[in-house]
Chain A
Amino acid sequence: KNEVEQSPQNLTAQEGEFITINCSYSVGISALHWLQQHPGGGIVSLFMLSSGKKKHGRLIATINIQEKHSSLHITASHPRDSAVYICAAALGGAQKLVFGQGTRLTINP
Chain B
Amino acid sequence: KAGVTQTPRYLIKTRGQQVTLSCSPISGHRSVSWYQQTPGQGLQFLFEYFSETQRNKGNFPGRFSGRQFSNSRSEMNVSTLELGDSALYLCASSLVGPATDTQYFGPGTRLTVL
Q: At the interface, yes or no: A65 with Cβ under 8 Å from chain B?
A: no
Chain A residues near B2 (CB, 8 Å)? none
Q: Is the interface of B mostly helix, strand, loop or mixed?
A: strand
The CA-CA distance from A74 to B97 in the complex, in Å, is 27
Complex partner residue of B98 from A33, A42, A43, CB under 8 angstroms: A33
Query: Which A residue's beta carbon lies closest to that of B104?
Result: A45
Q: Are A33 and B103 in contact (CB under 8 A)?
A: yes
Cβ of B67 to closest chain A Cβ, rounded Å: 17
Cβ of A29 to closest chain B Cβ, rounded Å: 8
Q: Are B42 and A99 in contact (CB under 8 A)?
A: yes
The CA-CA distance from A77 to B86 in the complex, in Å, is 34
Q: Are B55 and A95 in contact (CB under 8 A)?
A: yes
Q: Nearest 10 CB-CB pairs, A to B?
A: A90-B99, A95-B97, A43-B105, A99-B43, A96-B56, A30-B99, A96-B45, A97-B98, A41-B108, A45-B102
Q: Which residues of B contact A (CB under 8 A)?
A: 31, 33, 35, 37, 42-45, 48, 50, 55-56, 58, 88, 90, 92, 97-105, 107-108, 110
